[in-house]
Amino acid sequence: MGTCVGFDLDMTLIDPRPGMVAAMNTLADESGLPFDGEHFAAHLGPPLDHVLRDFGAPEERIPALVDRFRQIYPEIVIPRTVALPGAATALDVVRQAGGRSLVVTGKYARNAALHVQALGWTVDTLVGELWSTGKAAALTEHGATVFVGDHVGDVKGALAAGAVAVGVTTGPCDRAELLAAGAHVVLDSLTEFPAWLAEHDGHAGHGGAVRPGGVRGPAR
């Protein structure tokens, strides 16, 4: 393969929801503001400052709240986080095929790197604090030809970078939403990724017909 495959982090490679609930509720208790950890964890994707703003946090308090969340994150979220099914294998098959793995996430990069370290994964590059079409800059810079994510924002980022948009239904967006956003293929989970990648590379290697948007082979 010899190319770069990008992955989102939350609800694509990892499930941080229990820790996210606890961290947001801790922030609520400390700040006296009405943050809802369960709601936050069920809608992971947008940047933290957007989330806090949507919860009604005063604008002038948001920078300090973001800093505090980042401070408590390693102790609360990292130990409660698990890898999603197929995540480690998905990263491995990219490497085994001669490719490079890239993680592009809206999360604070330092905390994102702690997740990768805690799970014992090796990724070639990690870029944080990018969301939706903003992810296209990192995908383009690192030459990613495929981007895998669970959110419509990930699909938008992939399309903006001219990459194949692979959706997974392990996050807040269902198959219909991901396809409507323009995903070229939607997988139930990363356990299906190795077979899809082998088929994708096989079509590419044999000059398979390119579907609209740059996908070779059938969309699901």
Mean pLDDT, residues 134-162: 98
Q: Average pLDDT, stretch 148-177?
A: 98
pLDDT over 50 (residue 22) = yes
CB 180 within 8 A of CB 172: no
Structure tokens at 215: 């996908």
Per the prediction, the chain carries an average pLDDT of 93
Mean pLDDT (whole number) for 60-82: 99
Q: Is 56 helix (H, G, I), strand (E, B) or coil?
A: coil
Across the chain, which distance is largest between two alpha carbons, in Å? 60
Write down the pLDDT at residue 74.
Answer: 99
Using the structure block, give the residue that is written with the tokens 């992971």. Answer: 44
- Dihedral (C-alpha) 220, 40, 91, 159: value to the nearest 10 degrees? 50
Residue 173: closest CA among 198, 196, 150: 150
**pLDDT-derived band at 203, boundaries 50, 70, 90:** low
Nearest alpha-carbon partner for 139 in 45, 1, 9, 4: 4
pLDDT given at position 208: 44
- Residue 13 has what pLDDT? 99
First-to-last CA distance in the chain?
22
Q: What distance in Å separates the CA atoms of residue 90 and residue 22, rounded to the nearest whole number?
A: 29
Residue 52 has pLDDT above 90, yes or no: yes
Nearest CA to 41 out of 27, 29, 30 is that of: 27
Q: What is the pLDDT of residue 217?
A: 33
